[in-house]
């Protein structure tokens, strides 16, 4: 089974399917959720874009390719690289669904993570 099939993507507000371990990949905790809520699952905040990059991007789709390049660079060093390694370890253990509060999954950091992990 290829890695592509083992990675799911969902909004944190969606009910879980039989989609493996859910991993919240946002830097900020989603509003309205308890820390032990099963909709969230494991939280790896440092795999998310830095606050500065997130604010610069501001989900402006015209900036997505530049955002993806900057975000990928963040994930190549320091805490980002360690967090990405943790996410890869979770994938080796079984299917994973990346969860986020972002509305537009195709233009979010989750799309970049899927590219890097596939």
In degrees rounded to 5, what are phi and psi of residue 32? 85, 5
Provide the pLDDT confidence category of residue 5 given band limits of 50, 70 and 90: low
Q: What dihedral angle (degrees, nearest 10) is formed by the CA atoms of 8, 27, 93, 105?
A: 10
Who contacts 91 (Cβ-Cβ below 8 Å, separation ≥6)? 3, 6, 7, 117
Say if pTM beats, i.e. exceeds, 0.85.
Answer: yes
Domain boundaries, the chain: 3-117
| Max intra-chain CA distance, the chain | 37
- Identify the pLDDT of residue 16: 80
pLDDT in tens, 30-46: 999 998 887 888 999 99
- Identify the pLDDT of residue 22: 92
How wide is the angle at C-alpha 116 spanned by C-alphas 3 and 66, nearest 5°? Answer: 150
Please say if the pLDDT value at position 82 is more than 90. yes
pLDDT in tens, 52-76: 999 999 999 999 999 999 999 999 9
Please say if the pLDDT value at position 24 is more than 90. yes
User: Using an 8 Å Cβ cutoff, are 23 and 6 in contact?
Assistant: no
- Identify the pLDDT of residue 40: 86
């Amino acid at each position: 089974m290829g890695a592509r099939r083992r990675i799911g993507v969902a909004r944190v507000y969606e009910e879980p399917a039989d989609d493996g371990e859910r991993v919240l990949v946002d830097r900020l905790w989603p509003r309205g959720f308890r820390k032990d809520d099963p909709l969230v699952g494991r939280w790896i905040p440092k795999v998310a874009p830095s606050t500065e990059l997130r604010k610069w991007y501001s989900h402006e789709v015209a900036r997505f390719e530049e955002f993806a390049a900057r975000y990928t660079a963040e994930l190549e060093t320091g805490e980002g690289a360690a967090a990405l390694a943790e996410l890869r370890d979770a994938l080796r253990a079984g299917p994973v669904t990346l969860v986020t509060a972002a509305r537009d999954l195709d233009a979010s950091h989750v799309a970049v993570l899927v590219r890097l992990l596939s």
